Amino acid sequence: MILVEYFVRLALLLPLLGGLIWGSLKLTRYLQTRMVGSMGSSGRHLQLIETSLVAPGMKLAVVRFHDREILLGASRQGLVRLAEAPARTAESGE
């Protein structure tokens, strides 16, 4: 009898738990797209162009800031600017 009660509870609670997880993921995705949309592209001065994982805990990132592309090295210790160049436009083959 106890085993049957356990399976009944399991059958009721698993779909409820799955629904809560699914709903929280949908809500998170909705809020993220809403936040990005509310910022607007005209007021943004910083844009992440590309990232690349070099080693565990070490990344390279290209950031566009005020018509400049900046290569950053990111590690657990912090950020280091490695190089800087004028930003490429769509005509010059981005």
Write down the pTM of the prediction: 0.50
Distance of alpha carbon 45 from alpha carbon 65, whole angstroms: 6
Question: What is the CA angle 51-58-70, rounded to 5?
Answer: 45
**What's CA 5's distance to the chain center, in Å?**
43
Phi/psi at 56 (5° precision): -55, 120
In this predicted structure, the answer to whether residue 39 has a pLDDT above a threshold of 60 is no
DSSP category for residue 35: H
In this predicted structure, the answer to whether residue 41 has a pLDDT above a threshold of 90 is no
Mean pLDDT of the chain: 85
Q: Can you list the pairs that 73-76 forms with residues at least 24 positions away whose Cβ atoms lie under 8 Å?
A: none
* pLDDT confidence of residue 1: 80
Q: pLDDT confidence of 42, banded at 50, 70, 90? A: low
The pLDDT tens digits for 59-86 are 999 999 988 999 999 999 999 999 999 9
